[in-house]
């Protein structure tokens, strides 16, 4: 799943949409196969800052897939 999404996916999408267990995502990050990256966006006319955390596959993770 992560290999097909260059920008990654949020933890909530991976857990609720694709059935990943939270500990599995933590293990992928711990083992260097995925990384947790934050992005900040300014939303609306009030310029509210929203932080989105995405999990992305690493080069090591891609190599592990073959």
Averaged confidence pLDDT in the chain = 90
Q: Is residue 64 scored above 80 in pLDDT?
A: yes
Model confidence band, residue 1 (pLDDT cutoffs 50, 70, 90): low
Please list, in sequence order, all residues whose beta carbon lies within 8 angstroms of the beta carbon of residue 37, skipping any fewer than 6 positions away. Answer: 8, 53, 54, 55, 56
DSSP classification of residue 2: G
Domain spans in the chain, listed from the N-terminal domain onward: 2-61
Kindly report the pTM of this predicted structure.
0.75
pLDDT for position 66:
83
């Amino acid at each position: 799943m992560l290999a097909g999404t260059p920008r990654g996916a949020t933890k909530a999408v991976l857990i609720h949409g694709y059935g990943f267990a939270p500990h599995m995502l933590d293990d992928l990050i711990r083992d260097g196969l995925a990384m947790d990256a934050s992005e900040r966006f300014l939303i609306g006319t009030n310029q509210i800052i929203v932080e989105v955390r995405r999990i992305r596959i690493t080069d090591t993770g891609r190599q592990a897939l073959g």
